[in-house]
Amino acid sequence: MSARVHLERDGDVAVVVIDNPPVNAGSAQVRRGLLEVLETVASDGGIHAAVLIGAGNCFIAGSDLREFGQPLQEPQLPAVIAAIEACDKPVVAALHGAALGGGFELALGCDARVAAAGTVVGLPEVTLGIIPGAGGTQRLPRLVGVPKAIELTCSGARVPSGQALALGLIDCEAQGDLRAAAVAHARGLVGNKARVRDRVVPAADAQAVEQAAAAALKAGKARPAVHAAIEAVMSAAQVPIEEGLASERSAFQALRVSREARALRHQFFAERDSARLPELEGVAPRPVQHVAVIGAGTMGTGIAIAALDAGFDVALLEQDEAALRRGTERIREHYASRVQAGKLKASTAAQCEARLQPTIDWSVLGSSDLVIEAVFEDLDVKRQVFARIDTLARPGAVLASNTSYLDLDAIAGATRRPQDVIGLHFFSPAHVMRLLEVVRGAATAADALATGLVVAKRLRKLPVVTGNAFGFIGNRIYAAYRRQCEFMIEEGAWPAQVDAALEAFGFAMGPFAVADLSGLDIAWRMRQAQAATRDPAARYVHIPDRLCEAGRLGRKTGAGYYVHESGSRGRKSDPAVHTLIERARADKGLVPRTLSDDEIQRRALLAMVNEAARLLAEGVARRASDVDVVLVNGFGFPRWEGGPVFWARERGAEALAQDMDWLADLSGPGFVRGDLCHVLQQLA
């Protein structure tokens, strides 16, 4: 019998325990163990029913994704489920924690499902570029109907136990001990099988099916896995189950080795590893419950909301009553809107607001465990704030700056305790965006950094540790990307063409649309801050500066690269911008040429890759995969492309080197070429 699966007895009921920590992933060892135990269950006359249960914190949180990039090992999951269905004794799945992917498919193969309160179930495979491959698309429609099955499968939704019970995904929610409840349920089924496969798919209105498919395609950007999942789910109502299972498995096998699935698995593992720092193992973080946020603007209030949602006590500090009142009202409006939309209980909102202490009294810093500065992005202003924090914060408090590109060491130098200073670079809106760059300064203590990571996790953020460098990882790479795009409009492309080409690649928004949304003055300030150290021989595009000088700062002024009409989220190209660009070209004696969409995409991506190589060489980014986590989660890089470094690996070393020669030639003076070995070696 496998060490990952063992059999215990509760009278005439076999209790099959799956023990593959930390999440009981459905590995080959687990599958072998299950088959062996099922043979015992089937052949032992003293066993009348069986219960499958997970050890630890969950049932099975999914298959072992490391296997998906290799030839699958026998036995495969469909064989295990077939053995459960072929067994003449009822088998009950006892679910707790999470039953996801292959774990939920295994549960669907059982005769009944009993879940502890708080369990989540679901089929997230489409989010990994594949479809359920062990009957999920065939059994799920038999429980919930085709339209709902399309929705659940294509979204990869995690369904909580209460909702799962209402939908019929589980048979009952255990009151009290899960194991005892599952054993009792199994005894109640003795002498009967209740296979999901034997149920008839509920009849569905054709229009409802079409609407569900259309909604799924739109939400899933019509990716191949979404198409395949819809087709597989619809087949459940059209063909015998054995035919449907065979078609599903064939589609799964084709998708799992696709480039898109490999890219999504890469991103999955990159995100899982982003907060793992070997040097912090055994380092105890400092306790944090009381958080002070300095600055009640958009960013400060977003950070405060994230902290309140995570259960922290939050002091929101401003310099005057009017600014504090505006920030406090913004927070209250947020919670009111969440309650009104049915996304939050009124009692929960009230509890969050009760933990908020709006104040202009800086003495609150004396009782704060973590102080987060979120004031104007100006080095002198931030140094003044930190000098004041230094006189008021208690010894041992962690002092964090939300700077997005300034020198953290210069900020920490305004205090007498640089060892307590870290960067916490939130992305806007701070209470929505998952990404959080945790910046380590030259003097940052290990336990202060560890505290930043623990706080990030409690905030439900995705933390990436970065060294202290201008723009850190994300903004530094994005600046190189945007700069290359500016080169291209100087050479002959128009902003709308560049945006369209990169949105066609998969970016959520093109760089010029993003600039208008965030405000052109933000990047303008960054360029001004770098002016003194910029190579005078380097190629520099004046177009964005001229837009700012003309008062065209983006959506907030109604015009930037585009014209933005009041009350509309749309954008329109502006002849005045074309005239400004043409004048800038003429000033440099440039003759415009036609750029293809392929050139636009390649140059933009290569610029990212080159800057990533430089950051890795400098030690600002610790791992190549961290770059991909930041760009996907903070800057709209398409997840199904894996990230710029994954994209670079897919091109191969020889083609990439030739591409970089080409990019360097087009970029002109000042282009600093990175050593691609730092990218390719770390991804090998």
| Positions marked active-site | 105, 125
Question: Whose structure tokens read 């055994």?
Answer: 282
Cα(554)–Cα(563) distance, rounded to whole angstroms? Answer: 8
| Distance in angstroms (rounded) separating the CA atoms of residues 445 and 230 | 51
Q: For residue 624, what are the CA distances in angstroms to 242, 424, 447, 465, 474?
A: 44, 21, 25, 12, 13
| DSSP state at residue 554 | B
| Cβ neighbours, 10 Å, residue 413 | 17
Q: Alpha-carbon dihedral of residues 359, 365, 370, 371, nearest 10 degrees?
A: 70
Q: What angle do CA 425, 348, 359 make, to 5 degrees?
A: 55
Residues 97 and 115: their CA atoms lie apart, in Å, by 9
DSSP codes, 573-592: E-HHHHHHHHHHHHHTTPPP
Quote the strand ranges of 124-223, DSSP E.
159-160, 172-174
Question: ω into residue 669 within 30 of 0, thus cis?
Answer: no
Question: What would the two tokens of residue 579 be?
Answer: 């005239």
DSSP for residue 538: S
Whether 195 and 91 have beta carbons less than 8 Å apart is answered as no
Provide, for the chain, the percentages of residues in helix, strand and coil under a 3-state DSSP scheme, each rounded to the nearest 5.
Answer: 55, 15, 35
Exposure pattern of 654-663 as b/e (b: 16+ CB <10 Å)? eebeebbeeb
C-alpha span between 91 and 103 (Å, rounded): 15
